[in-house]
Structures are given as C-alpha cells and as structure tokens.
Amino acid sequence: MGAGGFVAGDVKNYPGKVTRHVVNACVLGAMGGLIFGYDLGISGGVTSMAPFLNKFFPDVYRKEALDTSTDQYCKFNDMGLTLFTSSLYLAALIASFGASYITRTSGRKRTMLLGGIVFFIGAALNAGAVDLSMLIAGRILLGVGVGFSTQSVPLYVSEMAPQKHRGAFNIVFQLAITIGIFIANLVNYLTPKIAGNQAWRYSLGGATIPAALICLSALKLDDTPNSLLEQGKAEKAREILRKIRGLNDKEIESEFQDLVTASEAAKQVEHPWTRILKRQYRPQLTMAVAIPFFQQLTGMNVVMFYAPVLLQSIGFESNASLLSTVITGAVNILATGVSIYGSDKSGRRSLFLSGGAVMFVFQVALAVLIGSKFGTSGDVIALPRWYAGIVVACICLFVSAFAWSWGPLGWLVPSEIFPLEIRSAGQSITVAVNMLFTFFIAQLFLAMLCHFKFGLFIFFAIFVAIMSTFIFFFLPETMNIPIEEMSKVWKQHWYWRRFMPEDDDCRALDVMV
C-alpha cells in the first residue's frame, strides 16, 4: 500500500444489518442529486434552442446567426449567456453556507425538504417565464435548491448508512446526479420534436418532477440519529438507530454512546466556522477544499460540454446530440455503478488512483487524436469512420474513469471525514468549492478551448497527474472506518499525524471556541 494508504487496525466495528429502512432512507435521500444533475444536463441544450434565444437573448440570437466561422475550437461565445447558465452555481455556492446553519440547527431532513420546495418554485418560474427577470429569479431559486440539497444529502446518507456500506450508499447520490443529466439530455432531444417553439418551457419545467419527488421523499424520511442528537432529541435518535440498524437496544449501545459523546463535544462548539480553522482540523479542511477543486479540474465538465460540438465536427452530424447523450449519460451512469460496488471493497484510494491513471491516458490520447486532425486552425475536415470511432471510444473511457473515481468520491470522502462539531461547516466548504469551480469551468471553457485548442486536454491531464500524486501521498484510506472514529486515520498518517492533538481527550477539553 502507498504512502498514504493504511487502514487503521484498532477501529471499532459496529454491528448493523442492511435493513429496508436504511435502504429506503439512503436511496430516497440520495435522489436529492437528481435536481442537480437535471440542471447540469438541461441548460446547455436549452440555451442553444433558437426560440429561447430569440425571446430572451435577441442580440445573441442575431450574432449567432451571422457567425460563419468554421473553426471548431473558437465557437461563437457570449459571456452574458454563459453567465445566465453558470449563475446557478454562484447561487448554490452562497446558499450552501446558509444551509450549513439549517442542517445543524433544524436537521438534514428539513434542509432537503426546503431545498426541494425552493427548487420546485424556481423550475415553475422558469417554465412560465415571460421576461428575463422571471427567468433569472427562477435560476437563483434553482441554485438555492441545489445548494441546500448538495449540502444536506451527502451528510444525510453518510450518517444513516451502516459503516461497512457507507461508500455504496453515498455513491447513490452521484448516481442520481448522473441519472438527472441523462434524463435532461433525453428531454432536450425530445422536446423540440414534440413542442416546437415552446420546447424550452417543457425542458425547464421538467425540473418540477424531480423537485416534487424530493419533497415527497423528504417528508417521509426520518432524520439521522446524529442530527437528532444535535437537536437534543436523544430518545428519538435511539429509536431511529435501532430501526435503521435492525438491532435491539443492547446491540446498538456502543454506536449510540459514541454518537452521544460526539454530539456532546459538538454542542460545546459555538462557532464551527472558527473552530474548523484550528490546526487539528487541517487535514479535513485540506481535503474539503482540495477534493472538490480537483474534481472539477479533471476536465469532466469540459468533455461533457464539448462532446456534442466535437462529435458533430468529426462526422456524426445528424445524431450527434443523441450520441453524446449516450456517451456522457449512459456510460457515466454505468461506471458510477462500478464504484458503488468497489468503494467498500477495494477502497477509496484504489478507485481514485485507477481512475486518475485511465483519465490521464485518454486525455493525452484525445489531445493527440484531435490535434493531429484539426491542427491549430481547428478547421473541419472529413474524418474516416474508424478514426471517429476511436475518438468516441476515448471519450467513453475517460468518462467512465471519472465516473468510478472523482465523480462519486468527490462527494463521499469529504462527507465522511469531519467530526460532528464541524461536519455541516465542512460540507458547506466542499459544496462551495465544487460550485465555484463548476462555475469557472462553465464560464471559461469556451475561451480556454479557443486559446489552448487541443492542448486543453493536456492542461487537464497535467492536473489529473497532480491530483493523483496528492491522493497517493495525502489521503488515508477511509473505507470501513466508523464516521465518529475517523480521527484515528489522521493520527496514524505519516504526514497528518503532526497536526493531531496527543489523545482523543484533547478534543473534549479543547472545544470551547
């Protein structure tokens, strides 16, 4: 095993069955990812629909119609229009901080419910929009909904799931994101055929369906035992723990007592945002920032946004959008399934490292394949069928490697490493960093492509090499470690141990911030 990769030998092993209750809770909870995925998948298609542009962005519509360039790298680009798409991520970023307070004081379940409601209203406003201000108001509400759900869902699932299967359950969140993207792409493909000029209303309004689903699920769900303790409801917490683990009072006692201890320590922390900056949380804080940052710097979203243009220009004119739906959609979903299986068996590190290696190889391959045909001019030339097939295969392999590694683990690992007293704050940082860099990539990628040309793939390949090295040296294995025992993995890590207080009691003594 590598430099960062030990599995702590003396951690506890709480008993617990995979009960119907825990499966329901985790699967329904994780469906919160649908709304994020639906939005990621829907906006690109909608902003390229002519009736939508004509109604809300008439200047852009006219300029696009006049754009006759054949350069596949420097496509016509309007900052205002991309800002409209990416503004959602800024709203989500800001909302995630508010959500941190609500998840802590009112619980994970209520935050999910609130997220669903706000998202529903945003989607309805968008579908019925009569002018730009209504569209933008809707966009902001959608962003708030996404911020709330990405803040609360990963926490919810990590706290509900039995330790042995925490990875698998948590990855259902990313699976829901990929399903959301897939459905959105299909909806965008179908609505113009069915609804003509009004297609955009149906595409945007479709988001009300996952939103309603999330609201209904959240109403049915129990809150997590950790969150109930945080709210002072000890008896209810014990009852839910019994129910989700399928065990009696005696059998859950050890896990329950550890939750109580963690919650008591957490209650003494009045200012989690100051607390999180303390030296002893440096490893967790580093991961909460680095992991979502690196996830976006894999270039996955660039491949997702660029695939339709690329496929069109290499000879798949008529069915490019459907084909890219299959590539960025189906492959993404299937490979996310691999990590559901692998994360609790082979561990987080091996998925991160294998995914990184495969992404690196196929990014370099794409740079070579695209560079040698389009050169730096980017002019379209007819490609032989077999050549186009190889490009498609490389995209598929890149997408699948992301989907078994950085996609799901980008949410799983940050959600399981923080102690309770700063867990909500830590998760907000993860969401905020993720949204910030999703925003940057969405906003800047066309300009980057125009500037770097095929070298853009090399740019991201270099980042993939850096992030894999980071994981190899700095991320300890977190598989199979109970969430409230996680501090042990840092204590035994070759680098992070220097930041750890001498023994566990320090935490209890040192919590008054």
- Interface residues with ligand FRU (CB under 6 A)? 40, 174, 177-178, 295, 300-301, 304, 332, 407, 410, 438
List, in order, residues 6 or more apart from 413 with CB less than 8 Å away: 287, 291, 348, 475, 478
Distance of closest approach, residue 292 Cβ to ligand FRU, in angstroms: 9
CA angle 322, 328, 331 (to 5 degrees): 105
Tracing tokens 């001019």 back to the chain, one arrives at: 377
Distance of closest approach, residue 156 Cβ to ligand FRU, in angstroms: 16
Exposed, middle or buried: residue 108 (CB in 10 Å: 0-12, 13-18, 19+)? buried
Angle at which helix 166-195 crosses helix 406-417, to 10 degrees, equals 130
How far is 312 from 324, CA to CA, in rounded Å? 10
Tokens of 152: 């609360």
Distance of closest approach, residue 434 Cβ to ligand FRU, in angstroms: 7
Nearer CB in complex with ligand FRU: 172/252: 172
Going by the DSSP 8-state scheme, the letter that residue 491 receives in this structure is H
Nearer CB in complex with ligand FRU: 146/240: 146
Nearer CB in complex with ligand FRU: 304/383: 304
Distance of closest approach, residue 238 Cβ to ligand FRU, in angstroms: 34
Residue 181 near residue 353, CB atoms below 8 Å: no
Give phi and psi for 278, each to the nearest 5. -65, 150
Going by the DSSP 8-state scheme, the letter that residue 71 receives in this structure is B
Nearer CB in complex with ligand FRU: 217/332: 332
Distance of closest approach, residue 295 Cβ to ligand FRU, in angstroms: 5
Nearer CB in complex with ligand FRU: 180/205: 180
Distance of closest approach, residue 438 Cβ to ligand FRU, in angstroms: 5
Nearer CB in complex with ligand FRU: 178/226: 178
The alpha-helical segments, DSSP class H, found in 6-57 are 20-30, 33-46, 50-56
Nearer CB in complex with ligand FRU: 43/163: 43
Residue 369 near residue 498, CB atoms below 8 Å: no
* Residue in the shown chain whose Cβ atom is closest to ligand FRU: 40
List, in order, residues 6 or more apart from 128 with CB less than 8 Å away: 134, 201, 205
Distance of closest approach, residue 267 Cβ to ligand FRU, in angstroms: 32
CA angle 326, 363, 331 (to 5 degrees): 20
Nearer CB in complex with ligand FRU: 225/329: 329
